[in-house]
Structure 1
Amino acid sequence: MPAPVHAVLVARSSTAAAARLERALDAIRAQSQSVASLAIVVRGDPAPLKSAAEAANASHLIAAPERTGFAGAVELAMERLPEGHVWLLDDDSVPEPATLAKLASALERQPSVAIAAPKLVRAGDRRRIESFGVTMTTTGRTVELAHGEYDQGQHDRDDDVLGADIRGMLLRSDVALALVPDRAMLGADEGLDMGVRARLGGRRVSLVPDARVAVWPPRQTPLRRDYTRRVAQLHRRLAYASSLTVAPKWIALLPLAVWATALALLAKRPGRVAPEWMATFTVLVRLGSISRSRRRVRAFRTGSWSQVDALRLGRTQLRERQQASEDPRRDNPDRLEFFSGGGAWAVLGGLVVSVAAFIALLTWPAIGGGALLPLRHGVLALWRDALWGVRPEGLAEVGPADPFSAVVALLGTIWPGGPSFALVLLWLLAAPLAVLGGWFAATRFTARPAARIALAAMWGLAPPLWDALAQGRPAAVIAHLLLPWLLFAGIAAHRSWTTAGAASILLAGVLACAPSLAPAIGLVWLVGLAVAIGARRRRIAHVVWVVVPSIVMFAPLAARQFSRGTPWALFADPDAADFVHGSAAAVAGGSVNPDGWEALFADLGLSWTSVWWAPMLLAPVALLALTAPATRKTWLAVVALAVAAVGSVTAVVDLGARLAVVDGVRVPVWPGSALSLAWLGAIVACAIAIDGVRRGRRPLAVVVIVCAALAIVPQATALHRGDTPLHSASDTTLPAYVSAQARADGEVGTLILTPLADGTVAAKVVWGTSETLGGASTLERTPVDVSEDDEAVAHLAGDIVSGSTLTVADEVREAGITFVLLRGQDASASAQRVVALAAQASMDQRAGFVRVGETPHGVLWSVVDEPAARGGMDAGETTTAWFTGIAQGLVLVVALLLAIPTRRTRDQARQKPRLIGVQNESREERTR
C-alpha cells in the first residue's frame, strides 16, 4: 500500500500573505492525489492566515518566529507529522494538478530514491525553467543544471542528480527525519545538502520532469542573496570536511576571503566583496552549527565520498557549460582598424616629428632644465619617496608624499637600470604617444579614418604639449599623455567595471600630475553622475568609483594642507618652477608663451610682429569646432565645447594663482594642463564636425592638421635655436663627491645655499644623492606658517651668510648634515654675488668645516666630525605611515583588478558599439 503523503506548507505573514496562501492551498486541493495531512508553518503573526488555514482543514497551524528560515520551519512541522512521505512547499509554489502523483510514483517505482524533485518553472512564464537539478564543482561551488532556459524537454532524460531546489521536493518516509533540511544553510543550497547526505547514505535524488511546480523568484536583495549563498558554500565545506582537515579549512577561511575578493574584483563583480567577508565572519563564529551539521552527515552516512564525486562537475565540464551558455554574437559593430585606418601611420609621423625636434636628446644621459630634476637611482628608493614617511627634503620632515611621486616612481620603474633616462625617453616619445592616445580617444566619437587621424594628429601637435616640452614641465607632459586615455575610458565608465576601473586609475594619474584640473574634471564628473542617476540607475556605482582612488591618494596631503590652513595649496603644481608666459588673453587663446614667435622671427632676421600668429593659426580649429553642434552628434559636440570653455577659463585662473614659492618667488600655476583639457574639447568637436560632413572630410582634416603643425613651429625648433632651458644633465644635482658618499650611505644630508638676486639666500636640506623629481613636495613649496625645521634651517643659513661668531659647525652636525653647498651665482646680479662671496668667506674661516673645492654645482664644504643620525618617525607616525600605505595600496590594487580585462569582459565589449552617443550605423555609411 502506498505510503501517505503529508504536506508542509511554509508561509510568511504579510499584507499579501493571505492571497499567496490561498493560491498555494488551491493548488494543493487540485492535486489528483490528495494529501493525508497538511501542516502550515507561519513565519510571523499567524492571525491573518488563520481563516485560510481553517478553511483548508489544515491538521497543524504552527507559528514560528519571523526570522525563521524555510529549513527551521520544516523542522518544526516534521516533529508533529505522522509517518509517511513529506512534501515540502512554500506559499510561492503552485504545483500543477498531477505533480504530487508523479512524485509519489517515482518514489514507489525506485526504492533507492530518497528524494523526488519536480521541475520548477517560472510563474510568469511557464515555458522557462527556473530550476531542474543542482550539483557542485570539486571546490564546492553550486551549479544549476538548468536555469532560465526554455523548456523543450532537453533535460527530461536527466534522472540521477546530486541535488535539487528544495521547493516541491517529496521525501521518502523512512528517511524524511534523517534528511530534514539544515537551517544553518540560511535558505540556500538546502536541497543540494539534502541530496549530498542522501547520496552518502546510499540513496539518491531523482528528477521527475512531468511533475511541474510554478514558483516566483525569492524576494531577496542582491546583498542578502550573495551572502546566504556564500554562507551555505563555506558551511558545507566545513561540514563535509574530514576530521583531520576541518581545522585547517576553518583557519583558511580568512585567506580564502582575501583570494575570493581578488577574484571578484578581477571578474568585475565588486558587489560580491561585502557578502564574501560577511559570510566568512558568520561561518567563523558558528562553531555549534558546524558541529551539528557534521553530526547529521555522520548519522546517515554509510558510503564513501566517491559516490558524491561521481556527480560533481569537473573543470572541463564546467568550462563546456559556460561556453555553451555564452552569447555567440561576438562581432563588434565598430572595428578598430588601427593599421588599415591610418592610426599606425599617424603614430609613425608623430615619432618622426619628435625625433626631428629633439634629436640632440639621443646623446644625452639625462635631461635637465625648467622643472626637470633627476630620479632616484634605485626602484626601491623611487617608491620609498612615494610613501608617507620621512621626506627626502628638510631636516626631519615627516608627512605624506605628493601623488605625483607615485607617477614618477612608476615612470622610473620602466627603466630601472637608469631611472633618470626615462625622462629622456619621455621627451622623445611624447609626441607619438600623444598621437596614439588621441587616436584611441577618437574611436569613441567617430568611425571615419579622416576624423580619427585629424584628432590624433592635432593632439600630438597640441601647443600646450609642445610648450611643456620646450619649458621642461614633466608633470604637464604626462598629464597631456593621460588625458585622451581618461576620455577613452571615462566616457564609457558606465558600461562596465573594466572601463570604470581604468578610468579611476587614469584620473588619479592626471590629477597627480595636474591638481589644478580637479575643479574642471570634478564638474565634468558631476555632470556624468547626474546623467547616470537619471538614465542609467544601475550604473551609478561605476561612475562613483571613478573618483575614489583619486580621493584616497590625495586624502593624506589634503588632511595636512587643511590642518595648516592652506587648502588652496592642493592645486599647486608638483613640479613648480618659474616659466615664461604671455598675457591672460594670450593664454586663453591656447598658447602659454605666444612670444616664442618673436624669438623665432628674430633668429630668422625678420622684424614681423608676433602678436597675431598664434591665434591666427588656431582660428581654423576654433571655427570648425563651433560648427560641430550642427551635426547629428549635437549633445556630444556641445559637451566637448563646454569642456573647451571650462579648460580655457581654468587656464586663466591658474595664471593668476600663485600658490608655490620657488627660490623666494611666488610662481603661478602652470596653465598648460588646463589648456590641454581645453584643446582636447576643441579637437573632439573638430573630429565630430569632420565626421558630420558628407564631402571634403580629408581636405578639412588636412587644413586643421597643418594649422596645428604651424602653430608649434617656435616650440619644435626651440632646442635647435637655443631658446629653451633644456640641457644635457647628469643623474644628480649635487657634486659627484656628495653623490658617491650618499650611494654608500643613503642618509647623507646636504645644506644647499642659493644666493638670490634680491640679496637674500634660499636654503634647504636634501638627503641622498640628489634633489629628485619624486622627492619634491608641495608641502615645502606652499608654506604659510614657518615650521620649527624651517626656522632651524633659516638660522643655520643666516649664521653662515652673516659671518656670525657662533659655532655653526656644531649645529650643522647635530642636525645630521654632512655637507654644505653654496650654489653658483649670476655674475650680472651684484647683490647675489656679494652675498655669495660673503658666505664663501665665512665658511672658509669657520672651524669644523673642510673645503672640498669648487664643483660644477657650486662650492662644497664637508663637516669634520661625524654628524648625528637624522631624526625618524615615532610610534604614532609609523602607525600612520602603515595605515596610509595599506589603504592607498588596497584601493589601487582594487582599481587595477577592476581594470584588468578578462575573457568575459572582452566578449561583452565586442557586443557593444565602441562609439558613444550614436546608434549602430551601417558599415557603408561609416566608411563613406
Structure 2
Amino acid sequence: MTAVLVARRGGATLEQTLLGLAEQSRPPDRLLIVDATDDEAATRALADARPTMFVSAAHGASFGDDIARAVEALPDPETTSSPYGGVEEWLWLLRHDTAPDPRALERLLGAVEVAPSVAVAGPKQMDAAAPTVIIEFGETLTRTGASAALAERELDQGQHDRTSDVLAIGEAGMLVRRSVFTAVGGFDPALPSVDAALDLCVRIRLAGHRVVGVPLARVFVAEGTAEFARAHVPRRIVHRWRRAAQLHRRLVYAPAVAVPLHWLSLVPLAVLRSFGHLLAKQPTRVAGEIAAAVVVAFSGARVPAARRRLARARVAGITGDALAPLRMPPAEVRRRRAIARDARIGRAEDVAPPRPDFLPGGALVVALLAGVSAVAFSPLLGAASLLGGATAPLAPDPAALWAGMLATADAPADPFAFVLALLGVLTPWQPSLALGVLWVAAMPLAGLGAWWLAAGLVRRRGPAAAAALLWGVAPALLVPLIAGRPAAVIALIALPWLLAAAHRAPRSWSATAAAGLLTVIVGGSAPSLVPALLVAWLAWMAINPRRAGRLLTLIVPLGAVAAPLVVAQLWRGSPLALLADPGIVAAPGEPAPTGLLLGWPDLALAIGPLQSILPQDAPPLLVAIVLGALLAPLPLLALLGLALPRGGRAVLPLAIGALGLVSAVLASGVSLTTLDGRAVPLDVAPALGLYWLGLLVGVAVALDGLRRAGAVPGLIATIAGVAAVAPLLAAPLTGLAEVRAAEVRTLPAIVAASAADDPRQATLVLTPAGDGLGARLELGAGRTLAESRTVRTTGPAAEDAREVAELAANLAAASGRDAAPALAELDVRFVLLAPALAPVGEDGAAVPTAPLADPAAVSAALDATDALVPVGDTDAGRLWRVTATDDDRSRPPGIPATAPAVLLGQLGILALTLLLAIPTGRRPRRARPDEGSIDDPATTFAEGDDD
C-alpha cells in the first residue's frame, strides 16, 4: 500500500494532512511525496515527514501529471499470488489539503479486502472548516453527460451511510488498485482541472471493475478540485473548465460514427447555450461557454488519444448495464434544479428590502395623473402627429425609422434614432401617432417610474405616492411638454426607471441589463446628462466594489449605439458637440438663475400666470419669491430627512439631485447649435429633472422617517408643489402651448402628394427672421425626427449649406442671375415662404426689417423669378413650384456599404442586452412593512385570549 501525496501549497492545510498521515491506525507501507510547491518552507515540512520516496514536479502541472510522475518513480510491482488474479498493490491518492481521519486508510482497505471486484474505493469528503458537512461523496453523470455529485454540501446525518456502489468518486483520498490504474492509462491529460477522477472511474467501470464509496472512511478537505488546480479561481472559470471537460468526454465516449456530428455541433450548441445563460441571468458564463467549445473543437490529438486510452481495457459499452443504473435519472436532475432555484429565491428574499404596496396609493396617483393629462392635453388626443417647438412627424413609415438608424455618407446616426425607432414601432401603421400617444401618457408614466424608484427606498405607501405625484407634475417635465421638446420628455420619463434599475443592479443581472437599455434612452435623448450619469456610475461602482465588474457592463449598450457618432465628432475635432441636443433644432426658454434653483427650465412660463393673480405691476422678483415659498417645503423636508433615523438613505438621492443642479448650471451657458443665425443653448430640462427627482426621493425618505408625524407636512408640501405648477397644466387648453396637433407633414399637401412619387425631392423653405432670412432644405413631405443628425447641426457650414444660402439670397432679392441651375443641382422642386411675425420693440411698435427679412419683398422677388411658378397660399405659407426639370439632379448623400453591418452589430448588442433584461424566473417575494419583521414579538396568542 503506497500513499501518494501531491503538494501544491504549504501552510496549515499541509501540516494537517501530514499529521493525519502520521496518525493512521493502519499506516501505509510506503509514502511517496510529489513536491510541486515551489516553496522552501513547504519542501522542508515534506522532507520532515520522512517519505519513502521524494519526487519533485513542476508547480503548474496537473494532479494527473503529478500522479503519473509518481507511479513512474515506483519500483515494478512484486509478483504475488492473488484470488483476483493480479498484484495486490494499492495507491492512496492524497493532496496537500486532504487531512485523513486516523482510521480512514484502515476502513478503505477493509472495504476492498472483502470485495475482490472493487478497483477503486473512496472516502466521504468532509469540509475541513465545518467537519459535519459533506463536501462530496460519490459522483455520477446525467443523461446529457454533465457531472454531478451524489452528495454535496449536506449536513452529515448518516443519510448516505448505506451508499456502496457509485459511478465515480473524487480524487481526494481515492484508493485505487495500481494494476488497474496502469491498465486503463491513468488520468486523462486533457482533463487537468476537473472531472479527471470521474473519467478515470468511468474507464475502470468499463474495464469490468467496481467503484465503491466507503462512508465510514472520512477525509477533511480544505479546497475543492478546482481550487486545488488554481487558488482563488472565479466561478466563471470553474464553469468553463467543467463545460470543456463535459464536451471532451462527449467526444471521447461517443460512438465513432457520431463523433463528427458532435464535433460539428460544438460551436453552434455553445451559441444556443449562451442565449440560455442570458435568459438565466448568468452572462458571465457566456464567454466560458464559447471558449470551452472552441478549445475542445481544436484540441488537436487529445480526443483521439483519449479514445485510444478508453478502448485499451474496455469490456463494456457506455450505454450498457455497467453505467446506466448508476447515472442520475432526469427526475432527480429536475428536483435538484428546483431546490437550487428555491434556494436562490430564498437568498434574494433575505436581502430584498421591504417595498410598500402599489395598491391603492400608487395606483390612485397614476390614475389621477392619467386623468389630468388626458384633460390638459385633450387637444392632442388622436393627433396623427405633433408640431411646434422641436416636434415634428416621427417618420412617414417604418422603413424611414430603419433608415434613421443607418449612417449616411456625411453623418452617422444619433443614439436618439434608436429611441425614436423604439417609439415608432409601438404604432407601426403610423409611426408619428406614437408621439401623440406619448405626450398624453407622459405624466402617468413618469409618476409610475417615480413611485417605483421611491418604493425601493421607503417602506410606507404615502411617501412613495407623494413622490410619484410631484414628479408627474414636475416643472422639468411639464415645460418640455408645453414647449414641444420630445427628446427631453422621453429622457425625463425614463430617468426614474433608470435610477430604480441602477439601484437594483448590484443584486441583479436583469436589473443591470435593464439599466443599460434605459441608459441608451436617457443618454440618447439627453446627451447633456451623460456626464452626470458617468459621475454617478463611477461613484456607484466605488460604493459597490465587489460588483464593479457587473456595473461596468451597464455602459456597453450606450457605447455601442454612440460609437459611430463619437468617432465622427472626435475625428472632426469637436468632442463637446457630443452633448448637443438631438432632434429638430429649436431654442428652449432662456433659463434664469432663480429658475435653475427652483427647478424651472423656463421661469417665464410661471411668471406670466402668477402676475395675473398678484397685484398689478408686481415685479418679477416678487413672483419668484411667491414661487419659491410654494416650493420651499420640499428642500426643507429633504434636508430634515438626513437628521432622522435611517436618514442615510437620503444621502444618495440628494447627491444625485446636487449633481443634476450642477449639470444644469453648466449646461445653461453652453451653445452648440445655431438657428437662423442665432446660438441655441442646451436644454437644461433633463438636468433639472435629475435635480428635482433627487430632491423628491429625499422628501419621500424624510416623510417615511417621520412616519405618522409626516402626514401633515407631506400633505402641505404636495399641495403647495401642485399649486405652483397648476398654471402650466392650463397652457394646452388655452392655446399657450407651442406643441399642437398636426398632419404627418410639415410642408403643404401638394408637396406631400408630389413626394409620394419621389420621397427624396427637396423643398426650399425660406423663413424671415429678424433682420435676416432663414433657409433650409426639407426632403419629401417635410422634416422628420428620424432623419435628424447632430453632426449636421453642430458642424461648420458645409458646401451644400453655402449653396443653399447663396440660392436663397439670389431668390429673395432680384439679382438678375438664372436660379434654374442651382435649383436643379439641389433637386429643389418647390419653394416655400413660411410666415413670420414682424419683430417688435420694447414699446410694442414694429421694428423696421431689412429687405431680406420683409416677407412682401421676398414674395415679390420670388414671383419675378422665371424658374418659379406661384402655387398660392397654403397652411404652411406661400408656395412656388420649380418649372425646370433635369434628370441629372443631384441626390442626398448615400448610405455607406458598411452601414448595415454596423447597424446589425448595434442591434445585436441591444438584443442580447434585452434578452438579459427580460425576467424569466420567479421573482422573490418581498417583505412588506405591515408583515412585521424578525425582531417583532411573536403573536402567539390572539388578542382577547384568556391565557
- If the length of structure 1 is used for normalisation, what is the TM-score? 0.88
Q: 1:323 to 1:867 in 2, by over 3 A?
A: same
What do residues 67-110 of structure 1 show as CA deviations (whole Å, max 9, x unaligned)? 32111222233345425233222222222232223223333433
Equivalents in 1 of 2:303, 2:667: separation in Å? 63
Equivalents in 1 of 2:308, 2:191: separation in Å? 15
Q: Provide the residue aligned with 2:885 in structure 1.
A: 864
Q: Provide the residue aligned with 1:888 in structure 2.
A: 906
* Counterpart check, 1:316 vs 2:335: no
Bigger drift between 447-456 and 734-743 goes to 734-743
* Counterpart check, 1:821 vs 2:840: no
* Counterpart check, 1:442 vs 2:463: no
Shift of 1:759: 5.2
Match of residue 899, structure 1, among 913, 917, 924 = 917
AA matched with 1:464: A
What do residues 232-272 of structure 1 show as CA deviations (whole Å, max 9, x unaligned)? 12211222222233223223332233233333333333332
| Counterpart contact for 1:586–1:594, Cα < 8 Å | yes
Q: Provide the residue aligned with 1:232 in structure 2.
A: 245
Q: Provide the residue aligned with 1:688 in structure 2.
A: 701
* Counterpart check, 1:171 vs 2:164: no
Q: Provide the residue aligned with 1:616 in structure 2.
A: 629
Q: 1:225 to 1:364 in 2, by over 3 A?
A: closer
Q: Provide the residue aligned with 1:297 in structure 2.
A: 310
Q: 1:309 to 1:454 in 2, by over 3 A?
A: same
AA matched with 2:33: I
Q: Which runs of 5+ in 1 are unaligned?
A: 391-396
Equivalents in 1 of 2:720, 2:142: separation in Å? 63
What do residues 853-899 of structure 1 show as CA deviations (whole Å, max 9, x unaligned)? 6543352535523355746668xx534x3564355334434433442
| Counterpart contact for 2:99–2:220, Cα < 8 Å | yes
Q: 1:363 to 1:530 in 2, by over 3 A?
A: closer
Equivalents in 2 of 1:616, 1:439: separation in Å? 25
Shift of 1:337: 4.7
What do residues 432-465 of structure 1 show as CA deviations (whole Å, max 9, x unaligned)? 1111111111112211122111111111111111
Equivalents in 2 of 1:59, 1:871: separation in Å? 86
| Counterpart contact for 1:122–1:214, Cα < 8 Å | yes
* Counterpart check, 1:596 vs 2:605: yes
| Counterpart contact for 1:573–1:778, Cα < 8 Å | yes
Q: 1:336 to 1:25 in 2, by over 3 A?
A: closer
Q: Provide the residue aligned with 1:188 in structure 2.
A: 194
Q: Provide the residue aligned with 1:577 in structure 2.
A: 586
Q: 1:818 to 1:160 in 2, by over 3 A?
A: farther
What do residues 144-191 of structure 1 show as CA deviations (whole Å, max 9, x unaligned)? 222222211222233333222122222234422233111101221112
AA matched with 1:254: V
Q: 1:76 to 1:749 in 2, by over 3 A?
A: farther
Match of residue 550, structure 2, among 509, 530, 542 = 542
Match of residue 217, structure 2, among 204, 207, 211 = 211
Q: Provide the residue aligned with 2:482 in structure 1.
A: 470
Shift of 1:348: 0.8
| Counterpart contact for 1:39–1:77, Cα < 8 Å | yes
Bigger drift between 728-737 and 602-611 goes to 602-611
Q: 1:411 to 1:309 in 2, by over 3 A?
A: farther
| Counterpart contact for 2:767–2:836, Cα < 8 Å | no
Q: 1:338 to 1:424 in 2, by over 3 A?
A: farther
* Counterpart check, 1:416 vs 2:425: no
| Counterpart contact for 2:770–2:838, Cα < 8 Å | no
Q: Map of 1:515-530 to 2, 5 A cutoff?
A: 515-530=527-542
Equivalents in 1 of 2:871, 2:208: separation in Å? 90
Q: Map of 1:267-278 to 2, 5 A cutoff?
A: 267-278=280-291
SS at match of 2:92: strand
SS at match of 2:211: strand
| Counterpart contact for 1:41–1:61, Cα < 8 Å | yes
Q: 1:871 to 1:675 in 2, by over 3 A?
A: closer
Q: 1:494 to 1:912 in 2, by over 3 A?
A: farther
Shift of 1:741: 5.2
| Counterpart contact for 1:757–1:832, Cα < 8 Å | no
Q: Map of 1:389-788 to 2, 5 A cutoff?
A: 389-390=407-408, 397-532=409-544, 537-575=545-583, 576-581=585-590, 583-597=592-606, 599-600=608-609, 607=616, 609=618, 611-612=623-624, 613-740=626-753, 742-743=755-756, 746=759, 748-758=760-770, 760-783=772-795, 785-788=796-799
SS at match of 2:217: strand
Q: Provide the residue aligned with 1:155 in structure 2.
A: 160
Shift of 1:341: 4.3
Q: 1:621 to 1:521 in 2, by over 3 A?
A: same
Equivalents in 2 of 1:724, 1:123: separation in Å? 73
Equivalents in 2 of 1:129, 1:800: separation in Å? 90
Equivalents in 2 of 1:185, 1:360: separation in Å? 71
AA matched with 1:323: A
Equivalents in 2 of 1:921, 1:47: separation in Å? 53
| Counterpart contact for 1:260–1:276, Cα < 8 Å | yes
Equivalents in 1 of 2:199, 2:187: separation in Å? 8
| Counterpart contact for 1:479–1:510, Cα < 8 Å | yes
AA matched with 1:593: D
Q: Provide the residue aligned with 1:242 in structure 2.
A: 255
AA matched with 1:824: A
Match of residue 144, structure 2, among 132, 139, 161 = 139
Q: Provide the residue aligned with 1:393 in structure 2.
A: none
Q: Which runs of 5+ in 2 are unaligned?
A: 78-86, 840-848, 939-947
* Counterpart check, 1:7 vs 2:3: yes
| Counterpart contact for 2:253–2:318, Cα < 8 Å | no
| Counterpart contact for 1:441–1:488, Cα < 8 Å | yes
Shift of 1:691: 1.6
Match of residue 40, structure 1, among 26, 29, 33 = 33
AA matched with 1:658: S
Q: 1:470 to 1:32 in 2, by over 3 A?
A: same
Q: Map of 1:275-294 to 2, 5 A cutoff?
A: 275-294=288-307
Q: Provide the residue aligned with 2:945 in structure 1.
A: none
SS at match of 1:184: coil
Q: Provide the residue aligned with 1:383 in structure 2.
A: 402
* Counterpart check, 1:372 vs 2:381: no
Bigger drift between 228-237 and 407-416 goes to 228-237
AA matched with 1:214: F
Aligned-pair identity (%) = 36
Q: Provide the residue aligned with 1:394 in structure 2.
A: none
| Counterpart contact for 2:400–2:786, Cα < 8 Å | no
| Counterpart contact for 2:813–2:852, Cα < 8 Å | no
Q: 1:46 to 1:220 in 2, by over 3 A?
A: closer
What do residues 109-134 of structure 1 show as CA deviations (whole Å, max 9, x unaligned)? 33443322211112222211121122
Shift of 1:921: 8.0
SS at match of 2:425: helix
Q: Provide the residue aligned with 2:844 in structure 1.
A: none
Q: Provide the residue aligned with 1:256 in structure 2.
A: 269
AA matched with 1:384: A
Equivalents in 2 of 1:77, 1:495: separation in Å? 47
Q: Provide the residue aligned with 2:846 in structure 1.
A: none
AA matched with 2:312: A
| Counterpart contact for 2:606–2:725, Cα < 8 Å | no
What do residues 642-684 of structure 1 show as CA deviations (whole Å, max 9, x unaligned)? 3333323332332222222123321111121111111112212
Equivalents in 1 of 2:539, 2:937: separation in Å? 32
Q: Provide the residue aligned with 1:790 in structure 2.
A: 801
AA matched with 1:210: L
* RMSD of aligned alpha carbons: 3.4
Equivalents in 2 of 1:837, 1:486: separation in Å? 53
